């Protein structure tokens, strides 16, 4: 497939000021008439042909300034419409196309999901609706008339504000007209038509605008939409309070659909969501679901400014909206919940998804320089590492300057399509700083490594830290990165008040390949606490002993580093045990004792944080830390042994804490962070009790499944039981499936639990589940829950030495490719770390990848991932 390069960016030769759409919805033959008000771009090439994008389109008619065009004046194919000699003045082009939304299994463009018409246009789906200049720097004002059978689609929604609606005389059809006054790129266009229930609310903006809020869901599920509606109102308020951003239309609607390629989409005034991220009730949704709904509602809403009012010039600038908006939603969730707990979960996500991506063949800069298929660049690097860059910028320039820079960015670029340079220049102007060096973060792939060594001079009472930064794969001439290192010193009895003139506001800026700093007045040998709050997305190499790390666990005022210290000790133990195979784990007892002391003092004060302390690094994190010659079986076994050692030591205290933290009978449900934290701790405790004593764990888990009043507890009981082979597990799994037979989103959790069982029988189990009525290859949520979870969260079975795990995923990729290439390609990214495996598995994974790469008729999406993975 052709490669598109950032360096080749050229302005469009034509502009589209207005778009008038008439969309007549029909299950198989929807008709779209687009009237485009075009003009030559004064900054483009005069007289250039007008080349409009299309994708699987059928042209019905085309007219220029109202006159039917002669056939030799244009060329139309399913993938494009070229007007050979467009007028050198403003003109209108009317284009009629016909589409079959029912046959649209790619879920891009206009499609039907459970009888509901909806659209998905990012990144390049609008061209599947009509011929267009489908690029984000073409901003137009849209008016949309939607028409449908009143019976089939009583609800008709579009972007902007509703202006008119009524019946189509002498038919069973009706229409609605929507007008969006804000110029937008085509990727933000949306319509919805269907039989939907809704809940509604109102919000008055800081500017006095009365906004009608609506959340539309499958009829009968309205009660499950209240939490999402509330999250919309809280997001609106937060963006006003924290970023000074008010909403700018009279309505804001959210629609939940059940077939959706990603989480949600920020179409102007009409956000469309995967129903998984809207629907919630205590009986059906877990605490994690509630937190995700809150975060994703906020994320899509925040795009209204970071993405919609200021959009991207081209898709290379994707991080400009996504990284920034992830940063904004992370801040929102931190304000709504516990900041420390949230930060830890952000870093866990980054390490689980982005670090491996950055270490493998799919690594790319946060702002890629080239792509073959843009849909493959909605990655953890663009989103999560992109957010970390914004966070580092804030750390470097300080809170006040950051807010001023953001205000300037929005003011200077409102209504335009911007670049990363525009973003940084707002902060450079505001602070008078040169940020060109900092901009390197957008350009270089790979996770930097920071080697640190500490030297205490007892006589001089000074402590020196030497830093050295390297980026894997970067040549010696590669410029160093600007890295904010938030740090402090900790002593045997607590934090030390030592000062260094190079540390301002608790932050040292490392912007050279090597640098040192000296703390004065250090009374005794300290332990350095580095990269507090994970102040930069780097790997740190420092030779601290377990004892030093456990000092940080006890005394570091930085909650993130307390947790991090425990993780580091656990990683050291697991990695050594995986390498040696030794049954005896060196240091496990001391670690378990430290955890016991921590629990004793703090579990009751902050159960959510305590639950995170109990969670050992995942098998994936251990593998990513080892980095080469990985044997997943050895990692699983070593990690299990450490869990057993900890569980044996903590079993009784955990049992007692679990009782103390039990909700009083009849207590009302709340999804808030405090209640969720108590549930998280109780369930982490249950899991460890079951490790120490499977019989007792089985009894407790079964009782919890039977008595649970929340989905969090019922599912946690089932998850614990799923790790204990035997009849009770199979009985409870079957009962759960029966109980929730009509709840696809709950059965997704049931599929996921089984896909993650680290046992030889899982492959056969998955084979059976693929035939189960709960599974469907046509629904992305089902595929992600079964095959996606298997590939990402079941390291030993996906990486089976006989290659059968790879074969299962490869077969699913191939079965999906024609139907939904985006989902197929995403599934295939599970092979991204294949080069780091031990030789036998590496060979098996490579063979599976080569088999896919050699297949005929691959989509661009899958061909791109397979090709890059093998590079």
Binding site for Zn ion (CB under 5 A): 322, 325
Q: What are phi and psi of 183, to 5 degrees?
A: -60, 135
Vertex 443: Cα angle to 426 and 487 (nearest 5)? 75
Min dist. Cβ of residue 277 to Zn ion (A): 12
Closest residue by Cα to residue 386 from 314, 304, 309, 322 = 322
DSSP string, 203-259: EE-TT--EEEEEEEESTT-GGGGHHHHHHHHHHHHHHHHHH-----SSEEEEEEES-
Q: Kindly state whether residue 124 participates in binding ligand HT7, applying the rule CB under 6 A.
A: no
With respect to ligand HT7, which residue has the nearer C-beta, 215 or 428? 215
Closest residue by Cα to residue 808 from 840, 852, 839 = 852
Vertex 556: Cα angle to 553 and 559 (nearest 5)? 80
Stretch that binds ligand HT7, among 36-44, 119-127, 604-612, 717-725 (CB under 6 A): 119-127
Active site residue 738: no
With respect to ligand HT7, which residue has the nearer C-beta, 301 or 798? 301
Burial of 709 (0-12, 13-18, 19+ CB in 10 A): middle
Min dist. Cβ of residue 327 to ligand HT7 (A): 13
Task: Report the site for ligand HT7 in 367-396 (rule: CB under 6 A).
Answer: 378
- Can you read off the two tokens belonging to residue 786? 């079964």
Choose the contact partner of 654 out of Zn ion, ligand HT7, none; CB within 5 to 8 A by kind: none
With respect to ligand HT7, which residue has the nearer C-beta, 675 or 829? 829
Task: Report the site for ligand HT7 in 420-439 (rule: CB under 6 A).
Answer: none
With respect to ligand HT7, which residue has the nearer C-beta, 270 or 688? 270
Q: Kindly state whether residue 123 participates in binding ligand HT7, applying the rule CB under 6 A.
A: yes
Choose the contact partner of 378 out of ligand HT7, Zn ion, none; CB within 5 to 8 A by kind: ligand HT7
The Cα-based distances of 410 to 105, 233, 236, 407, 414 in angstroms read 37, 22, 17, 5, 5
Min dist. Cβ of residue 861 to ligand HT7 (A): 11
Choose the contact partner of 262 out of Zn ion, ligand HT7, none; CB within 5 to 8 A by kind: ligand HT7
Q: Is 678 helix (H, G, I), strand (E, B) or coil?
A: helix
Q: Which residues contact 843 (CB under 8 A, 6 or more apart)?
A: none
d(Cα 377, Cα 375) in Å, to the nearest integer? 5
Min dist. Cβ of residue 296 to ligand HT7 (A): 8
Q: Kindly state whether residue 310 participates in binding ligand HT7, applying the rule CB under 6 A.
A: no
With respect to ligand HT7, which residue has the nearer C-beta, 281 or 375? 375
d(Cα 634, Cα 580) in Å, to the nearest integer? 9
Q: Which residues contact 135 (CB under 8 A, 6 or more apart)?
A: 12, 53, 185, 314
d(Cα 338, Cα 514) in Å, to the nearest integer? 36
Min dist. Cβ of residue 261 to ligand HT7 (A): 4
Closest residue by Cα to residue 191 from 243, 268, 119, 291 = 119
Min dist. Cβ of residue 322 to ligand HT7 (A): 5
d(Cα 639, Cα 53) in Å, to the nearest integer? 52
Closest residue by Cα to residue 630 from 300, 360, 245 = 360
Of 22, 134, 248, 300, the one binding ligand HT7 (CB under 6 A) is 300
With respect to Zn ion, which residue has the nearer C-beta, 322 or 621? 322
Min dist. Cβ of residue 4 to Zn ion (A): 21
With respect to ligand HT7, which residue has the nearer C-beta, 278 or 496? 278
Q: Which residues contact 459 (CB under 8 A, 6 or more apart)?
A: none
Min dist. Cβ of residue 691 to ligand HT7 (A): 37
Vertex 668: Cα angle to 663 and 670 (nearest 5)? 90
Of 13, 218, 266, 564, the one binding ligand HT7 (CB under 6 A) is 266
d(Cα 326, Cα 311) in Å, to the nearest integer? 15
Stretch that binds ligand HT7, among 13-21, 52-60, 296-304, 463-471 (CB under 6 A): 296-304
Q: Kindly state whether residue 358 participates in binding ligand HT7, applying the rule CB under 6 A.
A: no
Judge whether 167 and 150 are in contact, CB under 8 Å: yes
Min dist. Cβ of residue 321 to ligand HT7 (A): 7
d(Cα 166, Cα 731) in Å, to the nearest integer? 55
Min dist. Cβ of residue 817 to ligand HT7 (A): 17
Choose the contact partner of 317 out of ligand HT7, Zn ion, none; CB within 5 to 8 A by kind: none
The Cα-based distances of 849 to 323, 346, 365, 754, 855 in angstroms read 30, 31, 24, 25, 10
Beta pairing partners, 520: 499
User: By CB under 6 A, how many residues form the interface with ligand HT7?
Assistant: 13
Min dist. Cβ of residue 107 to ligand HT7 (A): 7
Judge whether 810 and 846 are in contact, CB under 8 Å: no
Stretch that binds ligand HT7, among 264-272, 577-585, 625-633, 680-688 (CB under 6 A): 264-272
User: For the CA atoms of the chain, what is the radius of gyration?
Assistant: 28
Choose the contact partner of 261 out of ligand HT7, Zn ion, none; CB within 5 to 8 A by kind: ligand HT7
Q: Kindly state whether residue 806 participates in binding ligand HT7, applying the rule CB under 6 A.
A: no
With respect to Zn ion, which residue has the nearer C-beta, 410 or 456? 410
Beta pairing partners, 517: 465
Q: Kindly state whether residue 137 participates in binding ligand HT7, applying the rule CB under 6 A.
A: no
With respect to Zn ion, which residue has the nearer C-beta, 322 or 558? 322
Q: Kindly state whether residue 120 participates in binding ligand HT7, applying the rule CB under 6 A.
A: yes
Choose the contact partner of 569 out of ligand HT7, Zn ion, none; CB within 5 to 8 A by kind: none
With respect to Zn ion, which residue has the nearer C-beta, 418 or 716? 418
Of 262, 390, 774, 795, the one binding ligand HT7 (CB under 6 A) is 262
Q: Which of 152, 218, 266, 300 is catalytic?
A: 300
Choose the contact partner of 123 out of Zn ion, ligand HT7, none; CB within 5 to 8 A by kind: ligand HT7
What angle, 0 to 180 degrees and rounded to 10, lies between the N-to-C axes of helices 607-614 and 339-349?
30
Q: Kindly state whether residue 852 participates in binding ligand HT7, applying the rule CB under 6 A.
A: no
Judge whether 766 and 786 are in contact, CB under 8 Å: yes
Task: Report the site for ligand HT7 in 555-614 (rule: CB under 6 A).
Answer: none
Q: Kindly state whether residue 265 participates in binding ligand HT7, applying the rule CB under 6 A.
A: yes
With respect to Zn ion, which residue has the nearer C-beta, 282 or 386? 386
d(Cα 296, Cα 169) in Å, to the nearest integer? 41
Q: Is 175 helix (H, G, I), strand (E, B) or coil?
A: strand
Catalytic residues: 300
Residues that bind ligand HT7 (CB under 6 A): 120, 122-123, 261-262, 264-266, 299-300, 303, 322, 378
């Amino acid at each position: 497939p052709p490669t598109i390069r950032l360096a080749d960016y050229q302005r469009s030769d034509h502009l589209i000021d207005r778009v008038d759409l008439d969309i007549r919805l029909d299950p198989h033959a929807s008709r779209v008439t687009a009237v485009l008000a075009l003009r030559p771009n004064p900054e483009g090439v005069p007289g250039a042909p007008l080349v409009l994008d299309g994708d699987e389109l059928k042209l019905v008619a085309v007219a220029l300034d109202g006159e039917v065009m002669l056939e030799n004046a244009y060329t139309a194919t399913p993938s494009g419409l070229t007007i050979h000699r467009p007028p050198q003045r403003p003109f209108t082009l009317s284009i009629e196309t016909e589409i079959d939304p029912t046959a649209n299994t790619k879920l891009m463009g206009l499609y039907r999901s459970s009888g509901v018409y909806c659209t998905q246009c990012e990144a390049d789906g609008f061209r599947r609706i009509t011929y267009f200049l489908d690029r984000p720097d073409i901003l137009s004002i849209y008016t949309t008339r939607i028409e449908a059978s009143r019976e089939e689609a009583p609800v008709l929604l579009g972007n902007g504000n509703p202006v008119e609606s009524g019946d189509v005389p002498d038919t069973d059809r009706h229409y609605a007209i929507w007008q969006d006054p804000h110029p937008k790129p085509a990727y933000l266009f949306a319509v919805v038509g269907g039989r939907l229930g809704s809940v509604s609310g109102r919000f008055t903006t800081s500017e006095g605008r009365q906004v009608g809020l609506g959340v539309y869901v499958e009829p009968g599920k309205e009660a499950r939409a209240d939490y999402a509606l509330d999250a919309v109102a809280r997001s609106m308020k937060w963006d006003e309070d924290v970023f000074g951003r008010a909403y700018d239309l009279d309505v804001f609607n959210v629609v939940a659909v059940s077939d959706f390629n990603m989480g949600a989409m920020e179409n102007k005034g009409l956000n469309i969501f995967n129903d998984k991220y809207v629907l919630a009730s205590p009986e059906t949704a877990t605490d994690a679901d509630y937190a995700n709904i809150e975060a994703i509602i906020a994320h899509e809403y925040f795009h209204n400014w970071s993405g919609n009012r200021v959009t991207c010039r081209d898709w290379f600038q994707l991080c400009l909206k996504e990284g920034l908006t992830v940063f904004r939603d992370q801040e929102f969730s931190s304000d709504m919940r516990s900041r420390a707990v949230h930060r830890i979960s952000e870093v866990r996500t980054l390490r689980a998804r982005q670090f491996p991506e950055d270490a493998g063949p799919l690594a790319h800069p946060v702002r890629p320089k080239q792509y073959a298929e843009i849909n493959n660049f909605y990655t953890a690097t663009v989103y999560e590492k992109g957010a970390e860059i914004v966070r580092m910028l804030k750390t470097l320039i300080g809170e006040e300057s950051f807010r001023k820079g953001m205000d300037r960015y929005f003011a200077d670029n409102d209504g335009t399509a911007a670049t990363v340079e525009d973003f940084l220049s707002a902060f450079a102007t505001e602070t008078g700083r040169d940020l060109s060096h900092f901009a390197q973060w957008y350009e270089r792939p790979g996770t930097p490594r920071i080697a640190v060594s500490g030297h205490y001079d007892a006589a001089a009472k000074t402590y020196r830290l030497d830093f050295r930064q390297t980026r894997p794969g970067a040549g010696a001439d590669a410029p160093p990165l600007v890295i904010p290192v938030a740090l402090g010193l900790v002593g045997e009895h607590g934090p030390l008040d030592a000062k260094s003139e190079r540390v301002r506001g608790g932050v040292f800026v490392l912007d050279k390949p090597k640098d040192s700093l000296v703390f004065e007045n250090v009374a005794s040998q300290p332990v350095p606490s580095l990269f507090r709050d994970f102040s930069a997305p780097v790997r740190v190499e420092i030779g601290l002993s377990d004892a030093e790390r456990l000092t940080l666990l006890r005394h570091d005022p930085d909650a993130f580093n307390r947790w991090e210290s425990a993780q580091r000790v656990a990683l050291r133990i697991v990695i050594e045990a995986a390498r040696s195979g030794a049954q005896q784990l060196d240091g496990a007892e001391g670690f378990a004792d430290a955890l016991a002391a921590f629990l004793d003092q703090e579990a009751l004060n902050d159960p959510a944080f305590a639950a995170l302390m109990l969670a050992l690094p995942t098998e994936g994190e251990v593998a990513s830390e080892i980095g080469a010659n990985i044997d997943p079986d050895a990692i699983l076994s070593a990690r299990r042994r450490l869990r057993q050692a900890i569980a044996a030591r903590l079993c009784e205290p955990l049992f007692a804490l679990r009782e103390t933290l039990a909700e009083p009978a009849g207590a009302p449900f709340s999804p808030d962070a405090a209640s969720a934290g108590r549930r998280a701790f109780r369930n982490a405790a249950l899991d460890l009790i079951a490790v120490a004593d499977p019989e007792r764990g089985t009894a407790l888990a079964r009782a919890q499944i039977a008595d649970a009043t929340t989905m969090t507890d019922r599912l946690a009981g089932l998850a614990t039981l799923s790790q204990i082979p035997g009849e009770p597990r199979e009985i409870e799994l079957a009962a759960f499936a029966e109980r929730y037979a009509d709840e696809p989103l709950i059965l997704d959790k049931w599929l996921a639990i089984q896909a993650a069982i680290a046992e030889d029988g899982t492959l056969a189990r998955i084979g059976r589940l693929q035939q189960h009525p709960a599974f469907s290859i046509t629904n992305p949520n089902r595929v992600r829950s079964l095959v996606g979870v298997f590939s990402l969260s079941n390291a030993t079975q996906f990486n089976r030495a006989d290659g059968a795990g790879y074969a299962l995923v490869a077969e699913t990729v191939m079965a999906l490719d024609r139907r939904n290439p985006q989902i197929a390609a995403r599934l295939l990214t599970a092979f991204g770390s294949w080069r780091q495996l031990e030789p036998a598995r590496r060979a098996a994974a490579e063979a599976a990848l080569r088999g896919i790469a050699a297949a005929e008729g691959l989509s661009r999406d899958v061909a791109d991932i397979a090709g890059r993975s093998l590079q």
